């Protein structure tokens, strides 16, 4: 455990102290049964005899003393007995509810194995089945009927020092649509990755579900549904709820508290981002996080094609928030290379459910208008690809199989190394599989996906490892960097900085193996590098509000990172002076 100052936790100070041998102890007033049921404190059978006696838990545990390594073995044996991924998800969430440090030790023992379980693609199935698998609430549920009382609801949350909030209203969960209150699995999963991948302490993370109802008829008729049973409330009442929520979070946790928007429908995602981005410390991961990870993949791909971003013509299957976010960041990258803004936009085309987005087409949104060009209307993606001959094809519309064999073969016919990104989640919504992409292009394609795919062996014996454009490469590092230096407003350059830093971490060996991203096993170091780059950018551009500026930024960030090592505990029978409670910076 890193040495640090202290935090008041729910009226119970957890006070780290060090002896002369630099061994760190954590002091708590909690005692007895409550200690073994608190996921922040619980060590299970790893509590020493001294701790059991002082904390009043002697006799509440079996008499054996075991290490975290042995606990890890037990968890893995139980994990292997589960029959499917949903069971594995439920099992791991139960572990998170019992012992946070052990949960994160398990995840970090094999990130590539466990991330698809605690997040995409399994989290999508978990959200669909949330009413069935629901055990213990994690995070806050705030409803449309709580208007006028959100500040008091936030007071019910037991942590007083929250640095990152992830919020959804459940209307567009992955590619699965309106799942209402069942969407809570998304902010819970995202913030688990803040800790596992970025090292943000879990006590500093708060998942929130804003329940305004659902238009999903099946959920409204489901007796196991856990949310409000009425249609979605929209209009002024919805906006008032969001305004009150944003103000209440900032009032309670400070203007530096990061608020990440997740899985809002297009109708709200853009306008809420534009409304709040200059008022609060906020970003939308579906727009900006997805953009950064996609652009990082493209920047890495440029090393294979030996070209510049401005040399490419890019077609999007989809014209929603993900497409718009990626397109905007691509445009910024082209401008950075020296291309005029208008010229950069002309290299980007979009296809939505009505066909090619062109000027003069009816009912174009403001966002789509920016990427509408003079061209005859075309209805199918196949025709668009054949006509425009793009160098890169990016799928973000959650239309399974949208990249047909003909489309992929056409891409290969006029590109030596066609760039094909099937980014829709979960796996069932992917535009094509890695095997299809590599097979139809004879292994020449540069491929990335949103959900993980297994390695593909080509007829010539080469094995390619598909790059997974997982937002987890971006948002944990961004969250760590933004909160570490107390940035108050996050601009698009932060995400371009993150994308460039991520692309720089891809090695030549990675590229030869088909990877456009570093191995997920390196995700913690990736997040650290991104955080340091963002902090450097923030101080260079006067965006940081933490002073004095850390002289060694990497060492500073490392000092903040959550560790899965167990703390040594003892108990105190008195309360700490009130002035100690005002110090806010504890790493558990």
Marked catalytic residue, from 104, 119, 438, 473 = 119
Tokens 């943000």 sit on residue: 200
Helix/strand/coil for 356: strand
Question: Could you confirm whether 89 is annotated as catalytic?
Answer: no
Question: Could you confirm whether 556 is annotated as catalytic?
Answer: no
DSSP of 18-67: E-TT--EEEEES--THHHHT-TTT--GGGS-HHHHHHTT-TTSS-S----
Tell me how crowded residue 372 is: count the other CB atoms within 10 A of its CB.
Answer: 19
CA distance 381 to 388: 10
Residue 347 contacts residue 373 (beta carbons within 8 Å): no
Residues near 534 by beta carbon (within 8 Å), at least 6 away in sequence: 477, 478, 481, 482, 485, 487, 494, 497, 498
In degrees rounded to 5, what are phi and psi of residue 520?
Answer: -60, -25
Q: Where are the beta strands (DSSP E) in 102-151?
A: 140-143
Please enumerate, as own/partner, the contacts of 49-57 that have beta carbons within 8 Å and a separation of 24 or more: 50/570, 51/568, 51/569, 51/570, 54/569, 54/570, 54/571, 55/28, 55/30, 55/31, 55/569, 55/570, 55/571, 56/31, 56/32, 56/571, 57/31, 57/32, 57/33
Helix/strand/coil for 14: strand
Residue 464 contacts residue 541 (beta carbons within 8 Å): no
Marked catalytic residue, from 163, 190, 368, 429 = 190
CA distance 91 to 80: 11
Question: For residue 31, what are the CA distances in angstroms to 7, 37, 58, 452?
Answer: 18, 11, 11, 44
Please enumerate, as own/partner, the contacts of 355-361 that have beta carbons within 8 Å and a separation of 24 or more: 355/379, 355/380, 355/384, 356/384, 357/319
Question: For residue 261, what are the CA distances in angstroms to 72, 146, 172, 269, 296?
Answer: 33, 20, 12, 8, 21
Q: What is the set of active-site residues?
A: 119, 190
């Amino acid at each position: 455990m890193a040495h640090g100052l202290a935090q008041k936790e729910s009226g119970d100070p957890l006070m780290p102290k060090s002896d002369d041998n630099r061994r760190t102890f954590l002091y708590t007033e909690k005692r007895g049964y409550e200690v073994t049921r608190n996921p922040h404190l619980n060590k299970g059978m790893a509590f020493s005899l001294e701790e059991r006696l002082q904390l009043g838990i002697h006799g509440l545990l079996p008499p054996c003393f075991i290490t975290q390594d042995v606990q890890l073995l037990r968890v893995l044996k139980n994990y292997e007995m589960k029959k499917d991924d949903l069971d594995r998800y439920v099992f791991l969430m139960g572990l998170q509810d019992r012992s946070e440090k052990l949960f994160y030790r398990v995840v970090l023992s094999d990130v590539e194995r466990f991330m698809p379980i605690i997040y995409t693609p399994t989290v999508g199935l978990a959200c669909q089945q949330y009413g069935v698998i629901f055990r213990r609430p994690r995070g806050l549920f705030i409803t449309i009927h709580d208007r006028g009382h959100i500040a008091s609801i936030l007071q019910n949350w037991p942590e007083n020092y929250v640095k990152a909030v992830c919020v959804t209203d459940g209307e567009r969960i992955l590619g699965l649509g309106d799942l209402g209150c069942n969407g809570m699995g998304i902010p819970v999963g995202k913030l688990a990755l803040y800790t596992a991948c970025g090292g943000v302490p879990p006590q500093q993370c708060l998942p929130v579900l804003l329940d305004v109802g659902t238009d999903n008829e099946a959920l409204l008729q489901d007796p196991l549904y856990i949310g409000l049973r009425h249609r979605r409330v929209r209009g002024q009442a919805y906006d008032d709820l969001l305004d009150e929520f944003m103000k209440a979070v900032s009032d309670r946790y400070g203007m530096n508290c990061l608020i990440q928007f997740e899985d809002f429908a297009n109708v709200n995602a853009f306008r809420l981002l534009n409304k709040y981005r200059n008022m609060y410390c906020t970003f939308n991961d579906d727009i900006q996080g997805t953009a950064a990870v996609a652009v990082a993949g493209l920047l890495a791909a440029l090393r294979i094609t030996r070209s510049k971003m401005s040399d490419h013509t890019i077609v999007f299957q989809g014209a929603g928030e993900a497409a718009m976010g990626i397109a905007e960041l691509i445009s910024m990258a082209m401008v950075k290379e020296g291309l005029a803004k208008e010229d950069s936009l002309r290299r980007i085309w979009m296809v939505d459910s009505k066909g090619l987005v062109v000027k003069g087409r009816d009912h174009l949104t403001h966002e789509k208008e920016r990427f509408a060009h003079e061209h005859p209307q075309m209805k199918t993606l196949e025709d668009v690809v054949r006509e425009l001959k793009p160098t890169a094809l990016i799928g973000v519309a959650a239309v399974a199989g949208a990249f047909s064999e003909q489309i992929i073969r056409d891409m290969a016919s006029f590109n030596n190394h066609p760039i094909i990104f099937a980014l829709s989640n979960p796996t069932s919504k992917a535009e094509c599989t890695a095997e299809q992409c590599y097979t139809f292009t004879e292994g020449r394609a540069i491929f990335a996906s949103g959900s993980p795919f297994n390695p593909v062996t080509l007829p010539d014996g080469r094995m390619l490892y598909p790059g997974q454009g997982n937002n987890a490469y971006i948002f944990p590092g961004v969250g760590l960097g933004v909160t570490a230096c107390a940035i108050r407003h996050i601009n698009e350059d932060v995400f371009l900085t993150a994308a460039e830093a991520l692309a720089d971490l891809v090695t030549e060996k990675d590229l030869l193996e088909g990877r456009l991203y570093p191995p997920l096993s390196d995700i913690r170091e990736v997040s650290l590098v991104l955080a340091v780059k963002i902090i450097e950018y923030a101080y260079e551009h006067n965006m940081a509000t933490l002073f004095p500026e850390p002289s060694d930024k990497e060492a500073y960030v490392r000092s903040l990172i959550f560790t899965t090592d167990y703390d040594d505990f003892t108990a105190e029978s008195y309360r700490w002076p009130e002035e100690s409670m005002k110090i806010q910076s504890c790493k558990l």
